[in-house]
Chains A and B, each alone.
Chain A
Amino acid sequence: GENVEQHPSTLSVQEGDSAVIKCTYSDSASNYFPWYKQELGKRPQLIIDIRSNVGEKKDQRIAVTLNKTAKHFSLHITETQPEDSAVYFCAASGNRGGGNKLTFGTGTQLKVEL
Chain B
Amino acid sequence: GAVVSQHPSRVICKSGTSVKIECRSLDFQATTMFWYRQFPKQSLMLMATSNEGSKATYEQGVEKDKFLINHASLTLSTLTVTSAHPEDSSFYICSASNGRNNEQFFGPGTRLTVL
Contacts and interface: CB of A to CB of B under 8 A. Distances in A.
Interface in A78-114: 89, 93, 95, 98-107
Nearest to A103: B46
Contacts of A95: 102
Contact of B106 (A31, A44, A49, A107): A44
Contacts of B109: 41-43
A98 B102 CA distance: 11
Contacts of B7: none
B73 interface: no
B75 interface: no
A41 B51 contact: no
Given A98-B49, A100-B97, A101-B34, A44 B102 contact: no
Most buried by A among B32, B43, B107: B43
Contacts of A43: 93, 106-109
Interface in A35-51: 41-46, 49
Q: How large is the interface on B (under 10, 10 to 19, 20 to 34, 35 or more residues)?
A: 20 to 34
Interface string A21-38: 000000000011010000
Contacts of B103: 32, 34, 46, 49
Given A42-B108, A44-B93, A99-B32, A93 B46 contact: no
Interface of B: 32, 34, 42-46, 49, 51, 57, 91, 93, 95, 97, 101-104, 106-109, 111
19 contacts: A31-B102, A32-B102, A34-B102, A41-B109, A41-B111, A42-B109, A44-B93, A89-B43, A99-B32, A99-B49, A99-B57, A100-B32, A100-B97, A100-B102, A102-B34, A102-B46, A103-B46, A104-B44, A107-B43
The 7 closest A-B pairs by CB, nearest first: A32-B102, A43-B106, A93-B102, A100-B102, A104-B43, A99-B49, A104-B44
